[in-house]
Structure 1
Amino acid sequence: MAKLRLSLRLFHLALVIAFGALLAGVVSLCERVARHDLMPLRQRLTRWFLARLGGALPFRVTVAGELPAQPMLWVANHVSWTDIPLLGALQPISFLSKAEVRAWPVAGWLAHKAGTLFIRRGSGDSNLIGQQIGRHLQQGHNLLIFPEGTTTDGLAVRTFHGRLLSSAIDSGVALQPVAIRYLRAGQPCPVAPFIGDDDMLSHLLRLLSSPAGEVEIRLLEPIPSAARSRNELARHSQAIIASALQADLPLGQAEAA
């Protein structure tokens, strides 16, 4: 039974990824023909694709809170690569990701075509990335970053790094804090975290072989960036996300516009 479940899930996932690659290729061709950036279209199509990708993963997702009506810099705790399809399905949005993801087969190319910005840790290019984030926000596009800079086991929130939050201040946009939590039978899920020496294939097979788990996503109150330093924004957003992850309140289903 477990082998059949894994086979069916792998087949479903492969179909979704193949269609996503076809879609990204068509949009890329259209951009070359039109000779201009189709970012709004790419973000909408990416949201549609990520919703299907999230649907191919063994999770039951519950969302609480209101989606922002204005473009914002989203900040979230980071547990796994699965955070991206689950959060990206909520609203048209781009991501900031580590540079290694760009080299992942198929997934890296799809992330690039979706408008992902890539940062190489320790390379000193945070100023350049900050400028790219600022342009992205000023053009009215949502962007999500994981200020912890790495994934965790989901049991605690690590220190939020504030250097990239300057872009929100400079662009005059608010922060949208998001808390994401993976559970099994009401307890922290041991399967979902993508940490340590995990490789993508092993984690994927382990995840798809497991029974469905629960994911709780909380869209918290936006944080105005005006009159705050980047470190203040980092500490405040970290604190309210950490608090939300400890809460045991039932979740309601949010409308996804």
Structure 2
Amino acid sequence: MSPGPLLRRLWRVPAVAVWIACGLVMAGLAALLTRLVPAQTQAIRSRLSQVWMSGLVSLLPLRVRCLGALPRQPSLWLSNHVSWVDIVLLGRLAPLHFLSKAEVAAWPVIGWLAKGAGTLFIQRGTGAATSLNDQLSGMLAAGHSLMIFPEGTTTAGDRVRTFHGRLLGCAVETGAPVQPVAIAYRRCGERDSVAPFINDDEFTAHLWRLLGSERIDVEIHLLPPLRAGSAPRNQLAREARASVIQVLGLEDGADTNASPSLSRRAA
């Protein structure tokens, strides 16, 4: 092992460990406040989550550039998905409720942090899509923004998979804007290979590699919002995916290595 990764981990590993412990304390505090002052719980939980995620980003080897404007009203955010780091990067920008597979709730540490941040857990294959859509619609109507990764899985950043529209019905029903987001990880102008969390990767092993990494450039594009109106949800999904592919410089999901397109500002 070269001395670079070792020296970087010497301070990053203990710093991240301490900050994760702080996150667990914050999650416990949020759970306590749910019982004591339920009317104010959501605002406090959102603020604590943003503070914690911002702190974690500062400890990771990331240089972040955000292009575009944050939505001014409750919105349904749709983003391509490369890594668990996406959640931290986007969650620090605005109060967001994330959707995650139900298994994450049982993960040590990560599950508790996710619950503390107000994550909604989806039980796949239960046939409860209608009930979930009602729940999502209720949250949008109540003024809460939602974050969905409509690919349903992560990629290496070399393509954008199909955006599934089954969960976009909540935007159609409530009239909430759809906020497309494009995220890219680069190193020296090329696609980074450390940040992607794919296949059978394990969280602690991936975090270990990430903490030994050199600086990774991240670009987050907040693209022009789409108005749901009466548009079919699958059409909204296709339009959102097309805008993400365009700004990432990809075509039909293939990696074009066209790094100059990553610096175009979202209009």
| Matched AA of 2:180 | P
Residue 44 (structure 1) aligns with: 47
Counterpart selection for 1:90 from 62, 69, 93: 93
CA distance in 2, matches of 1:70, 1:161: 23
Tell me the secondary structure at the aligned position of residue 178 of structure 1: strand
Matched, 1:3 2:36: no
Matched, 1:190 2:203: no
- 1:54-80 C-alpha deviation (Å, 9 max, x unpaired): 222111000000011111000000000
Q: 1:190 deviation in Å?
A: 0.8
* Superposed counterparts of 1:161-176, under 5 Å: 161-176=164-179
Q: 1:250 deviation in Å?
A: 2.6
Contact residue 45 and residue 118 of structure 2 kept, 8 A: yes
CA distance in 1, matches of 2:229, 2:46: 27
Residue 248 (structure 1) aligns with: 261
Contact residue 62 and residue 215 of structure 1 kept, 8 A: yes
CA distance in 2, matches of 1:249, 1:79: 16
- Tell me which moved more, 35-44 or 159-168: 35-44
| Matched AA of 2:107 | W
Q: Percent identity?
A: 48
Counterpart selection for 2:213 from 195, 210, 216: 210
Q: 1:242 deviation in Å?
A: 0.8
Q: 1:110 deviation in Å?
A: 1.1
Counterpart selection for 2:130 from 127, 133, 136: 127
- 1:137-179 C-alpha deviation (Å, 9 max, x unpaired): 1110111000000011111100010010000111110101000
Matched, 1:154 2:167: no
Question: How high is the TM-score relative to the length of structure 2?
Answer: 0.90
Matched, 1:114 2:117: yes
Q: 1:130 deviation in Å?
A: 1.3
Contact residue 47 and residue 93 of structure 1 kept, 8 A: no
Counterpart selection for 1:232 from 226, 235, 239: 235
Contact residue 247 and residue 264 of structure 2 kept, 8 A: no
CA distance in 2, matches of 1:182, 1:175: 23
Structure 1 gaps, min length 5: 253-257
CA distance in 2, matches of 1:184, 1:35: 44
- 1:194-216 C-alpha deviation (Å, 9 max, x unpaired): 11110111111111111111110
Contact residue 119 and residue 125 of structure 1 kept, 8 A: no
Residue 255 (structure 1) aligns with: none
Question: How high is the TM-score relative to the length of structure 1?
Answer: 0.94
Tell me the secondary structure at the aligned position of residue 215 of structure 1: strand
Tell me the secondary structure at the aligned position of residue 147 of structure 2: strand
Structure 2 gaps, min length 5: 250-259
Tell me the secondary structure at the aligned position of residue 163 of structure 1: coil
Q: C-alpha root-mean-square deviation of aligned residues, in Å?
A: 1.6
CA distance in 1, matches of 2:219, 2:94: 16
Q: 1:20 deviation in Å?
A: 1.3
Aligned residue-pair number: 253
Matched, 1:58 2:61: yes
CA distance in 1, matches of 2:107, 2:215: 25
CA distance in 2, matches of 1:37, 1:167: 25
Contact residue 57 and residue 208 of structure 1 kept, 8 A: yes
CA distance in 2, matches of 1:103, 1:177: 29
| Matched AA of 2:47 | R
CA distance in 2, matches of 1:151, 1:210: 20
